[in-house]
Every structure is written in C-alpha cells, then in structure tokens.
Amino acid sequence: MAPEGMTSSPPHPAEPTRAILEWLAAPPAPDLDTETADLDARIDLLHATSIASQQFQRSLEGLATRAQQLAFAHRHHMRHTDEPFAAPLRQRARAIAQALLRLALGMERTLTDADARLGLPQKRFSEAQPARALRLLGEALVVLEQAGFDPEPELWRLAARLYTLARAGYPLDPAPNPAETVLAAYKALLAIPTVAPHELTPAELDWTVSYLARSHTLLQVQEAPPPADDGAWYWLDPANTAEPHASARREAPTGRALLHFCTAGLARHAQECLQNPADPLLVPGNDYPGVQPLALLERLQARWSVPPLRDQPRRRQDYPVQACMGLDAIWETLRHGPDSEHVSEWTVLNESPGGYAIMNVQGRAAGLQAGMPVALRRHDEAAWTLCVVRWIRSDAINLIEIGLQRLSRGALPVRVGFRGADDGQPGMVPALVLPVQPAQRQHQAVMAPAGTYVSRRFALLSDQEHIYVAQCRLLSLDLQTASVELFQFEIDPYPL
C-alpha cells in the first residue's frame, strides 16, 4: 500500500495538484496571516488526496520554497516587534512552524517511497533532499524560539531520522556541493540550541542565525565519546528524544549509541571575528534593532567555549511579587515611588541563590525582552532586588514565564555621561548604581542603557538627598545586552 498522500502512477495530475500549483504560481499574499492560512490549506490538500508520487514531490518542493519565504518574512517582522507578542502573532508563529514540520515529514516519506515494495522501480534521490528537510526543521526551530515556544519533540526525532537515513547507507546520490550535504544541514540545526535561543531577543536570535549561516560547519560531530575534561561538548540520543544536551549540564548516559558534537570550532571562529570588528556583520544597523553585534558575539563565544553550569539548586515556590520592568521604569520608581503604570504583580515559580523564574498574573509585560532589567520585591516595605531577564518562555498563548538572574539588592538612581560621546548621544542619561557584592564584584557598578559606554571616564550625578557630582573611571565591562550594559567603576583619583 502506498503511503498517505501518494499512489503509484495515475495517468495525469489530479485536480488537487493543479490547485496547488496554481497557488504557487501566484505571488505571496502581502498579509502574512493570510499567506499562512493559504499555505496550511494547500498542505492539507496535498495530504488529503491521492496524488502520484512525482506530482506529490513537485508540489512538496514548491510548498517548501513558499514556506521558507514565509518563515523569513515572519522572522523579519518578529525582530521589529516588541515583546510580549500578541496572541495572533504567536499563533501565526506556531502555525508556520507546524507547516514546516509537516513539509519535512512529507520529504521523509518521499525518501522512503513505498513504490519499491510494490515491485516498481524506486526513484533515487540526491542527498540534498534530506538536507533540505533538515533546513526546514531549522527554520521551524527559529520561528518557535523567537516566539518563546519550546520545539515539539517530533522536530528533534525527525531530524535524527533524516540524518541517520543519509548516513546509514541509504541509496542517495551525492549532493551537488558541500553546503547541501545532510551533515552540513544537521550541523546548522544543532548549532541553534547551543546559543540558548531563549536568552536572546528575536532580533539577536535572527542575527545569530545569519552569523551561523557562514560558520555552522565548524561544529564537530562524531559518534565516539569526547574527552571527559572538555566542556564544549553536547550529546543526543537518536533512538530516544534526540534532543541535544550540554555535557557540562547533563551527563551523557552510558551503554547507548549517542551522537556527540563540539562547539570549540565556533568559539575559535568567533574569537577571530572579534579581532576584526570591521566585518560588516559586526556593525550595528537597523536590520537588527537593538542588537550590539560585538557584545552579542562575545556572549556567544563564551558560551561556545564552555556552556554555563547550573550549580545552584532551585526551590519550587508560589508567592506573589511586585515587578518593575525596564531601566526607565525602575529609575522612575526608585526616585518617585511605585505607581500602577510601572509595577505589576507576578508569581515566583522557583528561585535559587542566583535568580528566579516568575510567571505573569495580570498579563501586562509591554516591551519585555531578554536582557532587560527587572526589579522585584515581595511587599511595599521590602527593598527592590535588581535582576536581568535571561530567558522568556510562553508555551501558552496568554501565559508568560521569564527567568531572571539576580544582580543586586537595592540600587541608587543616578545620571551618567561619558567623555567622548557623539553629538547625537544624550549628555547625561538615567542609570543605576549597584552596591558591592563580594561574591560577584568588588566595586560598585553602573547599569546604563545599551550604547552608553564609549570611553574609560564618565561623570556621575546624584540628586536624591543632596547634589553629588563625581568623575569616575570604568574598571570592567561585566554585562552587555540589547537593553543595558553593566560596568564596575571607581571614583577617579586623578580627575581631569
């Protein structure tokens, strides 16, 4: 019996095929929601009717091209949209990812065409066919991660099946060039979880995908277990979930046929790029709003060198907190007191000495994005705890969960201005002074808007109780995100 969606060889294309090809010949709908619904309907049509193998594959290839164009346009829109995303936008992201997954499944079926079991000649495919299916899965993964969704388990299982199919002696003609091999496509997919997509803004993730497009082949993939003392390795179990795990965070099981891959090559390439900041991709621009390429690449390079450990236990909790989100809102709240515009109620789900996971209660989180500061407190008399958003997850349409890294207990609102700032930059900008934290930093630190730091010396103004002005000297840049930067400083002993 032929697989669903295909028959042996009808005499001429069925009407559903003609309808699909006519839609493919027309230009894409300018409205992305309409294009998504139209694509979904054509995929339903492709699978709902018996279609000859050749026509099935032709329609499948055309739909895959159209789906990739839609995914690219959607990703471009997402990176120019503030979080949290509206429900229709997130629903569209899930629908696009599901369409890409269904098309990849269709390509898997064409590779295991049942015509051979009917005694008919089986068509030989190029290795580029499973490689393209893997690229569809990569698009689906990025679309889901941008919207804060975890990928469906089937995505990783299908990817492992496609890779194994091509590597296990299945009759495939060689790919026309190295970039279209299954190994290259699987490396591109495996590289995505190594950047911790949930810790990036949609624009940062899109920039990272563009960067990986020219460097993902540096990922090292092997079946042999890696050296025990090397922390840049990941593993996956193709016969189980096939989801990648960092060896530094989760020990690989023994006695199973695992696949291992290493990010050391990506780390070395990133370090080389950081030494050549003239690269056009490393120059900030409007294509990726809020992205500081050099700072982002430094974060990626550190993660590819050694994935961070989770060395602090997390305790389940369930208590309400007040949350103030964004540097400007925190600054205003510390100066003038909280108000309903800046402060909302959230629930703490778990906490550790290093941070929290909190979930929204009131559903208000305008402008929320990875890397932005958040201040928490349990009640009106408590001091604010300053944090930074590390990840955003939203598996349910109206529910947002965020992970926070604790930075400081308490902060002082000030203004800072750097020597050498361009004429187009504001002179003195709102900032926060964080106290010394012996376990984290030995000096006071300033949290300022991204792009504030331009030189070693800056002026600091505080007018909380009395006016205080000082010239300060930057000691170290500890954190850079799309929203803020954090640097330690000292009062300059030799003011100019």
The CA distances from residue 393 to 197, 331, 390, in Å, are 10, 26, 10
Q: 97 is in which domain, residue-wise?
A: 15-176
Instruction: Report pLDDT for 113.
Output: 67
The CA distances from residue 271 to 69, 220, 246, 257, in Å, are 32, 17, 21, 33
Instruction: Report pLDDT for 446.
Output: 96
Any domain includes 128: yes
Beta strands, E only, 263-312: none
Residues 81-110: tens digit of each pLDDT = 877 788 899 899 999 999 999 999 999 988
Q: Are 85 and 147 in contact (CB under 8 A)?
A: yes
Residue 115 above 50 pLDDT?
no
Instruction: Report pLDDT for 417.
Output: 92
Query: Alpha-carbon distance 61 to 325, whole Å?
Result: 45
Residues 123-135: tens digit of each pLDDT = 567 788 899 999 9
Both 229 and 298 in a single domain? yes
Query: Alpha-carbon distance 189 to 275, whole Å?
Result: 27
Both 292 and 150 in a single domain? no
**Sheet containing strand 233-236, strands side by side:** 220-222, 259-262, 233-236, 245-246
Confidence category of residue 13, pLDDT binned at 50, 70, 90: very low
Residues 29-48: tens digit of each pLDDT = 999 999 999 999 999 988 87
Any domain includes 195: no
- What is the separation of C-alpha 440 from the centre of its chain, rounded to a whole number of angstroms? 27
**What is the arithmetic mean of pLDDT over 208-233?**
89
Residue 160 above 80 pLDDT?
yes
Q: Are 78 and 85 in contact (CB under 8 A)?
A: yes
The CA distances from residue 138 to 170, 189, 445, in Å, are 23, 5, 39
Both 27 and 165 in a single domain? yes
Helices (H), 150-201: 153-167, 182-191
- Of 377, 409, 441, at which residue does a domain stop? 409
Query: Alpha-carbon distance 220 to 465, whole Å?
Result: 58
Both 301 and 365 in a single domain? no
Both 375 and 427 in a single domain? no
Handedness of CA 389, 394, 398, 401 (dihedral sign): negative
CATH of the domain at 320: 2.40.10.220
Instruction: Report pLDDT for 263.
Output: 96
Higher pLDDT: 255 or 125? It is 255
Report the domain count for the chain.
4
Instruction: Report pLDDT for 422.
Output: 61
Residue 12 above 80 pLDDT?
no
Any domain includes 233: yes
Query: Alpha-carbon distance 365 to 65, whole Å?
Result: 36
Instruction: Report pLDDT for 46.
Output: 87
Instruction: Report pLDDT for 463.
Output: 86
Both 141 and 237 in a single domain? no
- What is the separation of C-alpha 354 from the centre of its chain, rounded to a whole number of angstroms? 22
Q: 318-330: string of b/e by CB count within 10 Å (b at 16+)?
A: eeebbbbbbbebb
Q: CA Rg, the chain, in Å? A: 26
Residue 454 above 70 pLDDT?
yes
Any domain includes 8: no
Instruction: Report pLDDT for 453.
Output: 84
Instruction: Report pLDDT for 169.
Output: 62
Residue 114 above 60 pLDDT?
no
Instruction: Report pLDDT for 330.
Output: 95
**What is the arithmetic mean of pLDDT over 297-315?**
81
Both 416 and 405 in a single domain? no
Any domain includes 7: no
Any domain includes 433: yes
Both 232 and 293 in a single domain? yes
Instruction: Report pLDDT for 397.
Output: 58
pTM above 0.85, yes or no: no
Residue 170 above 90 pLDDT?
no
Average the pLDDT over each of 121-130, 272-281, 429-438 and give the range with the smallest value.
121-130
- Of 305, 326, 347, at which residue does a domain stop? 305
Both 77 and 57 in a single domain? yes
Both 377 and 396 in a single domain? yes
DSSP for residue 7: B
**What is the arithmetic mean of pLDDT over 132-148?**
95
Q: Are 17 and 48 in contact (CB under 8 A)?
A: no
Higher pLDDT: 104 or 468? It is 104
For the chain, count helices (H), then strands (E): 11, 18
CATH of the domain at 453: 2.40.10
Any domain includes 6: no
Residue 311 above 60 pLDDT?
no
Any domain includes 368: yes
Both 394 and 450 in a single domain? no
Confidence category of residue 166, pLDDT binned at 50, 70, 90: confident
- Of 270, 305, 340, at which residue does a domain stop? 305
Both 35 and 126 in a single domain? yes
Instruction: Report pLDDT for 9.
Output: 36
Average the pLDDT over each of 132-141, 144-153, 300-309 and give the range with the smallest value.
300-309
Higher pLDDT: 212 or 83? It is 212
Higher pLDDT: 277 or 345? It is 345
